[in-house]
Chains A and B, each alone.
Chain A
Amino acid sequence: MKATREAYGEALLELGRSNDKVVALDADLSKSTKTSLFAKEFPERFFNVGIAEQNLIGVAAGLSLAGFVPYASTFAIFATGRAWEQIRNTVAYPSLNVKICASHAGITVGEDGASHQSIEDIALMSVIPNMTVLVPADSIETKSMVNWAYQYNGPVYIRLGRMGVPDILSENYNFDTKPFVLKKGKRIVIFATGIMLWKCLEAIELLKPYNVEPTLVNVSCIKPFPEESIIEIAKEHEIVFTAEEHNVINGLGSMISSTLSRNYPMKVYFIGIDDRFGTSGKPNDLLSYYGLDANSIKEKLLLLGLK
Chain B
Amino acid sequence: MIAFVVRRVLASIGVMIAVGLIAFAMFRYVGDPINQMVGVETSVAERAQLREELGLNDPAIVQALRFLARAARFDFGVSYQFKQPVADLIGARMPATLELAFVASILSLAAGIPMGVYSALHRDSALSRLFQALSLIGISLPTFLTGILLITLFSVVLGWLPSFGRGDVVRLGPWWTTGFLTVSGLKSLVMPATTLALFQMTLIMRLVRAEMLEVLRADYIRFARARGLSESAIHFRHALKNTLVPVITIVGLQLGSIVAFSIITETVFAWPGMGQLFLQSIQNVDIPIMAAYLLFIAFMFVTINLVVDILYVSVDPRLRASLHGMHG
A and B part of one assembly = no
